[in-house]
Amino acid sequence: MVDATEFRTRVTKILSQDYQIEFLGGNFDKIVNFITETKAGKIYAWISEVINENIQPIIISSKKSYKKWKMNQLLVFRYPLNINNIEYRVLLVKVKNSIYIEFHLGSHKYYDKVRKDFDLTRKNC
């Protein structure tokens, strides 16, 4: 099982940016503690693929504001995760041509809330 602090440190190191990314989600630490080293390795590899632009983002068309950005300035990358037959989602949020601002990890219920916050429709995610 993976330590939550170590997981955050590893993700931050992979992203290698000056901006401090936020780690968000319902029961984030508890969920991370259930992740095996193998699954964590797959998440780290997925993040590297996102950084190398090998993964297509979900593009947000809404012009609503989110924190200090307009929604249409953001890209969302989604990674499904199954732990002990429970579905979780990882969402990595990036400002276009710039920094990664959020790493979300949560249950499907949490994911639905975040999806609504970002105005993402079911068909594009």
Show the tokens assigned to 105.
């990890």
Q: How do residues 38-96 score in pLDDT, each as one tens digit?
A: 999 999 999 999 999 999 999 888 888 888 899 899 999 999 999 999 999 999 999 99
Does the pLDDT at position 15 exceed 80?
yes
Residue 102 confidence class, pLDDT cut points 50, 70, 90: very high
The predicted structure's pLDDT at residue 63: 82
Report phi then psi at 4, rounded to 5.
-60, -40
The predicted structure's pLDDT at residue 119: 81
Tell me what the mean pLDDT of segment 111-118 comes to.
Answer: 88
Residue 122 confidence class, pLDDT cut points 50, 70, 90: low
Distances in whole angstroms, Cα of residue 90 to Cα of each of 63, 64, 76: 23, 22, 10
SS3 71: helix
